[in-house]
């Protein structure tokens, strides 16, 4: 069957079309992204603006038309932190349903972490042992750990690259004092939950998902995306520590000229790098591996599991 996953995130609305069958690996057939930056369309009260709601509904309509054109049988629509934490999220969801017919499932932070962990586990298999999975989104950081398909610990922290950029780094390039303040904030937030994971034992394999980690790995010399899914891509902490001060000194336009860095994500890259560096340092990770599968694949895999057990 052909499934579509409609991911309403903090940065983009992403439609991923896959050919999927229970017990088989989902095969990507088509991908459509629209940059919306919901995290930056909030008013002073934390509500998504009327213009933001209109743009969201219009973007979802466009994605549904594309899904129909591609022969999608079923669309799995979900939203993450930007909608989840908006002060008017109920109104946003109601408007989207009225305007598009789509009932967005709002995932909790814990659900995000668990579904991303499922995708990483299926990608690396049981031989990877105890996995520690890190994911930096636009609105939040998800961390999960475990030896099975269901993690033993899963948390979500409000440390997304888009959220932190908007709240902490207004300058371009940012003021060094703002960078230091954000660094302290990030590490204090992560340090609060490290003990919850440390008592479970050291992981056998540390992996990361998300555009932020992929871009940071590319800066560190990892293979280009054009070289395929199955090329191993690693990110070393030493390389990351060398890049953070360089990124902090660059305006967004200069970052966008770096290998693997998209123009739309360039402004957020420094905040994402500070989160990645803090997580790797506080969890004692020297090197992690980039996982090609993430939340969207986790949503698909969970749906296929339910079909198989039905």
Helix (H) or strand (E) holding 206: strand 205-209
CB neighbour class for 90 (10 Å; exposed up to 12, middle 13-18, buried from 19): exposed
* Mean pLDDT in residue range 205-224: 96
Q: How confident is the model at residue 281 (pLDDT cuts 50, 70, 90)?
A: very high
Rounded mean pLDDT of 247-264? Answer: 95
Average confidence (pLDDT) over 232-243: 98
Mean pLDDT across 231-253: 97
At 197 the pLDDT is 97
Structure tokens at 128: 């990877």
Query: Per-residue pLDDT averaged across 292-308, rounded?
Result: 92
- The fold for domain 2-106 equals Nucleotidyltransferase; domain 5 (3.30.420)
Domain parsing of the chain, residue ranges: 2-106, 109-295
The CATH number for 109-295, chosen from 3.30.420.150, 3.30.1330.40, 3.40.50.10210, 3.30.420.40, is 3.30.420.150
CA 70 to chain centroid, in Å, comes to: 25
The Cα angle at residue 213 between residues 23 and 210, in degrees rounded to 5: 40
Q: One fold for both 2-106 and 109-295? A: yes
- Edge to edge, the sheet with strand 74-79 lists 27-35, 12-19, 2-8, 74-79, 105-106
Please state, in angstroms and rounded to a whole number, the distance separating the CA atoms of residues 152 and 54. 40
Q: pLDDT (tens digit, 9 = 90+) per residue, 23-43?
A: 888 999 999 999 888 877 778
Q: Are 169 and 247 in contact (CB under 8 A)?
A: no
Mean pLDDT for 193-202 is 96
pLDDT of residue 42: 77
* Three-class DSSP labels, 214-234: HHHHHHCCCCCHHHCCCCCCE
pLDDT for 23: 83
How would you classify the pairing of strands 205-209 and 131-136? parallel
According to DSSP, the β-strands at 2-8 and 12-19 are antiparallel
Among the residue ranges 10-19, 41-50, 271-280, the one predicted with the least confidence is: 41-50
DSSP line for 289-304: EE-S--HHHHHHHHHH
Confidence bin at 310 (pLDDT 50/70/90): low
Owner of token pair 């989902």: 26
Task: Identify any residues that bridge with 205 across adjacent strands, giving them in sequence order.
Answer: 131
Q: Please report, rounded to a whole number, the percentage of residues in the chain having pLDDT higher than 70.
A: 100
- Res 309 pLDDT > 80: no
16-30, 54-68, 234-248: which has the minimum mean pLDDT?
A: 16-30
Mean pLDDT, the chain, as a whole number? 95
What are the residues whose beta carbons fall under 8 Å from the beta carbon of 295, sequence distance 6 or more? 7, 80, 112, 115, 116, 119, 135, 209
* Confidence band, pLDDT 50/70/90 cuts, at residue 308: confident
pLDDT at 144 over 70: yes
Nearest by Cα to 33 from 46, 50, 16: 16
Q: Is residue 253 a contact partner of residue 217, using CB atoms and an 8 Å limit?
A: no
- Examine the pLDDT at 107 and tell me if it is beyond 90: yes
Q: Is pLDDT above 70 for 71?
A: yes
Neighbours of 188 (CB within 10 A): 10
């Amino acid at each position: 069957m052909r499934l579509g996953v409609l991911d309403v995130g903090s940065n983009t609305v992403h439609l991923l079309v896959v050919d999927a069958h229970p017990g088989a690996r989902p095969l990507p057939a088509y991908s459509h992204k629209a940059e919306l930056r919901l995290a930056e369309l909030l008013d002073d009260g934390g509500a998504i603006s009327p213009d933001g709601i209109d743009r969201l509904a219009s973007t979802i309509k466009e994605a549904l038309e594309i899904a129909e054109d591609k022969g999608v049988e079923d669309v799995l629509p979900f939203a993450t932190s930007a909608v989840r934490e908006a002060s008017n999220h109920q109104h946003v969801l109601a408007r989207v349903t009225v305007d598009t017919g789509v009932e967005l499932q709002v995932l909790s932070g814990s659900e995000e972490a668990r579904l991303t962990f499922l995708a990483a586990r299926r990608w690396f298999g049981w031989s990877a042992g105890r996995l520690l999975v890190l994911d930096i989104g636009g609105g939040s950081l998800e961390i999960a750990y475990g030896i099975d398909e269901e993690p033993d610990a899963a948390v979500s922290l409000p440390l997304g690259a888009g959220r932190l950029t908007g709240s902490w780094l207004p300058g371009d390039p940012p003021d060094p004092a703002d960078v230091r303040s954000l660094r302290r904030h990030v590490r204090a937030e992560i340090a609060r939950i490290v003990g919850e994971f440390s008592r479970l034992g050291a992981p056998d394999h540390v992996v990361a998902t998300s555009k932020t980690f992929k871009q940071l790995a590319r800066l560190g010399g990892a293979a280009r995306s054009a070289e395929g899914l199955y090329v191993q891509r690693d990110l070393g902490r030493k390389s990351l520590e060398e890049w953070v001060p360089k990124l902090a000194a660059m305006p967004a336009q200069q970052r966008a000229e770096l290998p693997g860095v998209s123009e739309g994500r360039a402004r957020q890259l420094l905040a994402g790098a500070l989160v990645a560096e803090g997580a790797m340092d506080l969890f004692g990770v020297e090197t992690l591996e980039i996982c090609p599968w993430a939340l969207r694949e986790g949503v698909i895999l969970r749906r296929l599991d339910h079909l198989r057990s039905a």
